[in-house]
Structure 1
């Protein structure tokens, strides 16, 4: 997404104070796109999301064009894998679509195709033991070599070690951060951040320039949990953001794993609490792989290129081409496209929001002009 009007509309809908993600989703469902929301007028917006939302979106915030929009367009123009991914885009991670509170907009820098991969989260203490760091690197590397993309939060300690290990394997890594992507936080991870931008993927829902506020990190944690099929806690104290991530994973019906440690170590108490609550005890990487079904499927470079290029329109879009002129079921489209179901469903949602596809009774899809 690079069109200034489209970018500006999404930023107005997501970056403003006071609207909230739930009301923004209601407005998108009602009007179809951010541009349509802004064009609907204060009264129509108020009918859907309340008077406060109508007043908030009625006028452009002071300095919007000269600050946030200009900064964002300049960041996108630098290229090098910088993208904005919105709810309904083909590139939007399918696992997040199943989460209770998916972000409407994600800033991405790096290998966007990693959002379509099967992923495992590795999280833990910012003050780990030496053994904890070794475990995080070893599990990150082994899971990545087995094809799983390792997701973590780029924090000091366990997160950083997991990213480092995962960069050595085919699955690579996704770092979900609690700031704007034009900031590097923590500063001690500058070299790691730049390497992830080249070899993995940096991800944030926060607007450019956003500082590392305390309230950002629980929000970041829900994305980490939402991206992953399972979450492995390596070391964690009882009061730990890692336990928030684990709880969010459990609430989403995802697997939670924990590595036990010494009964005398503060860093082990969070893991032991999770094990008492039913987390799966992990001693080796096979304990995780057995629960998740073994090695992950790593798409070919050709398949990754195809997924990255689906933003084209008309007959060049493989999903529209597969739909043809008659209604089709999801299974039929899977057979025609050869795409996995989650990626195909994400693309169909994007086409539906874009007004190119209509969902019919009986689980059928049809191109809107033909319905």
Structure 2
């Protein structure tokens, strides 16, 4: 919010301050806030309604919270938020703002506020989510980056959660493509979590945008990350799950997407890989199995344009170790039986292949080939 007229800017922020006050009212929550908005029209009308009117709509504890004067903590938050908004490319959208994303507004539980850092115009473009495991394999990261780049090249904006693993690879791939990316985070927008992604967050804010429903200063709280997943899926026309263990948080995003009427896609993996279990579960439950970006684009009715395919193309194999590996995880002893020779020779060759990015070491003394 940058306005050259200080009086107009003050008026706009006064309206926004009522939204923040409503969102921060202890014990009120999003559901009650939306019910009050439906009855009374605006946050300002809620705070002006008086105790007698509000008493018919909320519990006694909620009534006390709504009738209490702004606390010192709230005043400090409002001051910090106003200062934050004065910076370039910083925005806040309320649920009633015409620019609020329509798909998100249609959810049963849309956020009252969206804090945005970066290109707000991306929220009005065709969006697709790419999510997956934080502890992704090299193969999973390669899939995420390759699919995200191709989706970006096709004109889609890629949405993810800026976590380590698949999310990070998806953002990197989208930034490398012709399009861009949106990161939906589970902290205040003035925080970067995980700290390892600080440089990535800076690039996303510069070339894409970062979105949060949480007030400034909100620290990383475990419960907030599953909750933000409804925004990742709610913004998007479809959700692609790249790798997910059986109890992965990515399955929450996929389930929310299905409940929201979005397309759900899953990339299959080896039956021996724990990181493929979640994707296989999704496929059994009706998610579309995809092997190429073109399949995602066709389901979303997006023209593939002219771009390289991310299908795993047959590669010329003249290495005895790669040939023996196949495409499933295998333990070293079993691989040694396949190739013959001695363990020292095999270990040296595996190290060379790992340094070349063609082989990945897995837990439990297993190795797996990486296809790019």
- Which residue, 236, 255, 258 being the options, matches 2:266? 258
27, 32, 39: which is aligned to 2:36?
27
Shift in Å, 1:47: 1.6
> How big is the shift at 1:265?
1.0
Equivalent position of 1:9 in the other structure: 18
CA distance in 2, matches of 1:65, 1:238: 41
CA distance 1:104–1:66, shift in 2 (3 Å): closer
Does the alignment pair 1:72 with 2:81? yes
Distance 1:10 1:168 in 2: 37
Partners of 1:120 and 1:150 within 8 A in 2: yes
| Corresponding position of 1:219 | 227
Contact 1:45 1:53 in 2 (8 A): no
User: Would you say the 8 A contact 2:190–2:216 is kept in 1?
Assistant: yes
CA distance in 1, matches of 2:51, 2:115: 28
Say whether 1:110 aligns with 2:113: no
How much does 1:64 deviate? 3.6
Structure 1, 31-40 or 223-232: larger mean CA deviation: 31-40
3-state DSSP class of the match of 1:48? coil
Q: CA deviation at 1:54?
A: 1.7
Specify the alignment match of 1:367 in structure 2: none
Alignment partners' CA distance in 2, 1:146 and 1:138: 12
Q: Call closer, same or farther: CA 1:296–1:260 in 2, change over 3 Å.
A: closer
Q: Rg bigger for which structure?
A: 2
Is the Cα–Cα contact under 8 Å of residues 178 and 212 in structure 1 kept in the other structure? yes
Q: Summarize the alignment of residues 88-127 of structure 1 with structure 2, pairs less than 5 Å apart.
A: 88-127=96-135
Q: CA deviation at 1:27?
A: 1.1
Instruction: Tell me what 1:45 maps to.
Output: 54
Partners of 1:41 and 1:33 lie apart in 2 by 14
Structure 1 Cα separation of the partners of residues 147 and 57 of structure 2: 47
Offset at residue 61 of structure 1 (A): 4.1
Match status 1:188 vs 2:193: no
| Residue 235 (structure 1) shift | 0.2
Q: In structure 2, list runs of 5 or more residues that go unmatched.
A: 2-8, 306-372
Return the offset for 1:200: 0.4
Deviations 1:135-172 (A, max 9, x none): 10111111111111111100000001101111123431
Change (3 A) 1:65 1:294: closer
The alignment status of 1:237 with 2:245, answered yes or no, reads: yes
Aligned to 1:336: none
Unaligned runs of 5+ in 1: 298-371
Q: Secondary structure at the match of 1:235?
A: coil
2:68 is the alignment partner of 1:59: yes
Return the TM-score normalized by structure 1.
0.77
SS in 2 for 1:151: strand
Offset, 1:132: 0.6
Which residue is 2:90 aligned to? Answer: 82
**Alignment TM-score, normalising by the size of structure 2:** 0.77
